[in-house]
Structure formats: structure tokens, C-alpha cells
A and B are shown apart, each in its own frame.
Chain A
Amino acid sequence: AQSVTQPDIHITVSEGASLELRCNYSYGATPYLFWYVQSPGQGLQLLLKYFSGDTLVQGIKGFEAEFKRSQSSFNLRKPSVHWSDAAEYFCAVSYNNNDMRFGAGTRLTVKP
């Protein structure tokens, strides 16, 4: 069955520290891959996406993600976290960019 797994429900990092949020998927073929961020009570904002080509993709707000086919992973990274990055992060996949399937989300807390 198709699934998206975000193993970490909650992560706490110190401001200025590096961040990596994990995402694994189970699909029959390489899907389209996305990371979204959601602040409390807000909608979904796209951070970055992977459709094809270079497996390291750059996004907004200094985020990047790397697609690793062999590991079925699409982990999100940021070298230095800012307090404003505190939010819920969702990994999403779609086989045909039609029905998008989301992971359960990772809540990021940033310590001063």
C-alpha cells in the first residue's frame, strides 16, 4: 500500500543548530515529492518539491531536501534554524500529482 512516513512526531532544536526532518515513502514508482510547512491555524505553504532531475532541491527559507531513491527517502534539511521556523512540517507524495498523500507531520520546536 502507498504510504508516507515521518518517523519523528516532535523535534526540538536550538536556534542556530542544524535540522533534518525525515520522510520515507512506499510507492510503486518514484512519486512527486513535496515538503509543506504549516504554522498554527494557518494553511499549507510549499517549501520545495521534487519532480525529476537533480536529487538535491533547494526551497524557500533556506531549506533543502535530498531525494534518495535507494532509501525511498526525501529528508528536509536546514543548516541553521531560526526561531521563526517553529511550525509543523509535512512531507507529501503523489504518484501523478493528483491525489497528494501527506505524512503525519513533524512538529518543530526551536529553543532560544
Chain B
Amino acid sequence: EPEVTQTPSHQVTQMGQEVILRCVPISNHLYFYWYRQILGQKVEFLVSFYNNEISEKSEIFDDQFSVERPDGSNFTLKIRSTKLEDSAMYFCASIKRRDTDTQYFGPGTRLTVL
């Protein structure tokens, strides 16, 4: 069964550094998402992406965040200058059709900001 993959599984970085989290959505999917889950808290929507542009974003997704689909397979989340509070599990998800399908989630990348 096809699945969403994410790399790395764990990323450790220093405060102020830039990080790029990578996701490979399911190949024929058209809509892509990033969510985050701070340890012990609920999963929060960050951004959705369709047709090479952001379709929706939450209040969390400020100017420090950006997303990109640099080629036909990868979907990336960049945090320009990480803060301690960015430490969380980041999940990527994808979907083919919004009216019938369910978002498939990747295994997540744990980001630790020191």
C-alpha cells in the first residue's frame, strides 16, 4: 500500500538555525498538508498546498514558515529561524480528492530545537 514518507525521523537544531523538513506524498495525490504536534498536546493544522500554492494556513504559519514542492515528488516545510517553541512532531499528509478521500499521514519528523 502506498504511504507518505518523511525525512529525517528526528532533527536536532540550534535556536536561530534554518531547518527543512521533507515529505514525499503519495504519488498521485494532489493536496498536501503540514501539521504539528507539540509534545503532549493536540495535532494542529499548519498549512495546505494545492496546485503549487498555499490554499489555507493557520495562525501558527507565520512568516518564519514556508512550503515548497520543488519537484514532482517532494513537499518541504522550511522554518527560517527556529525557536525553542518550534520543538514538536511535524506530520505531513496528502490526499487525492477532497470530496471522497481521507488524508494519509506520514510517520512524522521530531524536531528538537536547543
Please give the residue numbers on chain A whose beta carbons come within 8 Å of chain B beta carbons, in ascending order.
34, 36, 42-46, 49, 51, 90, 92, 96-105
- In the complex, residue of chain A having the shortest beta-carbon distance to the beta carbon of B3: A43
Please tell me which one of the listed residues B41, B48, B102 contacts residue A98 in the complex, with CB atoms under 8 A apart: B48
4 nearest A-B residue pairs (beta carbon): A102-B43, A97-B98, A43-B107, A44-B105
- In the complex, residue of chain A having the shortest beta-carbon distance to the beta carbon of B92: A43
Interface residues of A: mostly helix, strand, loop or mixed? loop
Please give the residue numbers on chain B whose beta carbons come within 8 Å of chain A beta carbons, in ascending order.
31, 33, 35, 41-45, 48, 55-56, 58, 91, 95, 98-103, 105-108
State in angstroms the CA–CA spacing of A101 and B56 once bound together. 13
Contacts of B106 in A (CB 8 A): 43
Contacts of B43 in A (CB 8 A): 44, 90, 92, 102
Distance in angstroms from B81 CB to nearest chain A CB is 25
State in angstroms the CA–CA spacing of A74 and B46 once bound together. 24
B95 lies within 8 A of A97 (CB): yes
B31 lies within 8 A of A98 (CB): yes
Contacts of B102 in A (CB 8 A): 34, 46, 49
A96 lies within 8 A of B98 (CB): yes
Q: Contacts A43-B106, A43-B107, A98-B56 hold; do A105 and B42 have CB atoms under 8 A apart?
A: yes
Q: Contacts A42-B107, A43-B91 hold; do A99 and B45 have CB atoms under 8 A apart?
A: yes
State in angstroms the CA–CA spacing of A49 and B42 once bound together. 19
Contacts of A51 in B (CB 8 A): 99-100
Please tell me which one of the listed residues A34, A44, A104 contacts residue B91 in the complex, with CB atoms under 8 A apart: A44
Contacts of A45 in B (CB 8 A): 105
Distance in angstroms from A4 CB to nearest chain B CB is 9
